[in-house]
Amino acid sequence: MSVSSCICYRTDFAALKAIADASGGGLQELHAATGCGSRCGLCIPYIRVMLMTGLIELPPMLPEDFKKLGVRCSTLERLITQLNERGEPITHDPEAAERLARAHANEDSRA
Ligand code: FES
């Protein structure tokens, strides 16, 4: 399982990356062009990671995974808090997110 689109606007990260690559823009420009991120907002941290790494398929991540990459995810944090309070915790593959964080850290050190 991977995260590869803004579900609310049915826009995949490949299309968003193409727009960003062509325009040199960031999240604001992608939002203006497609609306991505303006409904539930859960895709925003993933789009930020996509813009940072160039990866268009990302592992499901929790707030601590995003924090390792320096990406804010307040909407996701609120959702997880609400689900935990309802006794419906989210599970994910922490190793996949860790691999992404390590790979990105390696890219940073080579730059
Ligand atoms: S998934 Fe992008 S706004 Fe909901």
Per-residue confidence (pLDDT) for residue 110, from 0 to 100:
64
Instruction: Report pLDDT for 92.
Output: 75
Q: Give the pLDDT confidence score for residue 41 in this predicted structure.
A: 93
pLDDT at 43: 96
Give the pLDDT of residue 106.
Answer: 75
Q: Which domain holds residue 102?
A: 5-110
Atom in ligand 1 nearest the alpha carbon of residue 44: 2
Residue 9 Cα to ligand 1 middle (Å): 6
- Helix or strand holding residue 11 (H, E): strand 11-12
Dist CA 1 CA 8 (whole Å) = 18
Domain total in the chain = 1
The best mutation among 4, 6, 48, 74 to test binding of ligand 1, ranked by most ligand atoms within 8 Å of the C-beta, falls on 6
Helix (H) or strand (E) holding 12: strand 11-12
Query: How would you write the pLDDT of the chain (111 residues) with one tens digit per residue?
Result: 899 999 999 999 999 999 999 999 899 999 999 999 999 999 999 999 999 999 999 999 999 999 999 999 998 889 889 989 999 887 777 788 788 878 877 776 665
Q: How far is CA 55 from CA 25, 98, 103, in A?
A: 16, 15, 11
The whole-angstrom distance between residue 83's C-alpha and the CA centroid of its chain comes to: 19
Q: Where do runs of H (alpha helix) occur along the chain?
A: 13-23, 27-34, 44-53, 63-68, 74-85, 94-110
